[in-house]
Structure 1
Amino acid sequence: MGVHDNADSKYIVIGNSSFSKLASKRPTTVVFNESSSKIQKYEDNQQNIQAENADKGNINLQQQRKSLPVYKLRKRLLEEIRRNSTLIIIGETGSGKTTQIPQLLLSSGIAGSSGCVGVTQPRRVAAVSVARRVALEQGVETGKLVGYCVRFEDVTSSQTRIKYLTDGMMVREAMTDEILSDYSVVILDEAHERSGAD
């Protein structure tokens, strides 16, 4: 996850000559560990919540959000994001990294008043489904505050502040705007699924 300040913020200069090589700064790694018993309790809790809400016919999304590990650790997470321009976040599958972190960045003001939080996904289906879920959690129509951009389909507007997109679409945007000036924060989600060939 990189917080975009300006074009020079992601490099440090090595050496004194005018032809110095640029090297990327090493990102800070934050690991949000949950013991296996806590994870199991969380999964059991989720199943109970879903069963109760299925009976009522109405899923309480806010209750589900607040039960996620990322939501519970949001204060520490926001502190680390404010302290570091580049951050690697490691957490269990289902802990809320993809859905909750962009919403936290937006609500905390880290994304700025006009910047967008861009979240890349390795697959088209993931970008679309996660955008729809986050829009549902925000109580907005997909394409307004929360949108997505995949090949042949751009469901965004000038109001979009959280944008899920495939890697290819982010690369395409970077070809016309090298510093991705529309984004305050860029999240490379599912980074472990990328290979050197991607």
Structure 2
Amino acid sequence: MSERDVSQTRPLAITRPKLREGESITNQLLEDRAFYHEYYKAKTGDWLGVKIGPILKTIKDCARAAAVENESNLNPYITRFSDQGEPVIQQTYDIFRRRLQDLYQNSSMSEEYYALILDILVPTENLDTPKIADRLWLYKWANLEEEKRMKKLQARRKKAVEDSSLGEVEAPPPRGPGFEATATMPNQIPRSAATSEKEPPPTISSSSKARSKLAISDLVNL
């Protein structure tokens, strides 16, 4: 098969990339190991004319919408979507495909872009493989990424609420060595006032007494 034929033929199946120790699936890893095929390189301009990030975000958004729509059929005890039963995963995937089609029909998404998304999705379905990890692996990964994102969002919201609640509570006065309470209770005499010595009464000088007596005698003689 010539290079031209390869670039015009979509891969029939793409298995989940094998990860080395410490690796996780990222946009770049998907581009380099899963979709760095001549067909995709020709369609996307070597992933420069069309970038993989927005395509994967569209898949994640529609995956989240499908999971919410089919939530009543998901086992609430099983928190990880890929651990749900295969029949309900397939059921949710069918909803996901409808949501993706609705997005194409009711948005400005071009026909070429929609076709490229399907070109990426369909080879990752692998519905006939006996290896469950390879079935709908890209769709399952998209759900896992959304689960992580939602958990982080919930954690940030919870922390914001806790921080807001703490801000409304008045901070207690400082305690410990070097700190003394300065506030007094009603009708309580401060310690400094209670222990201070009483001031002596004012003294009257002899000249003042004489002036007082003179003033009285003058009044009597009037």
Same fold (TM over 0.5): no
**Larger Cα Rg: Structure 1 or Structure 2?**
2
Q: Which has the higher helix share?
A: 2
Higher relative contact order (CA 8 A, sep 6+): 1
Q: TM-score range by the shorter chain?
A: under 0.3
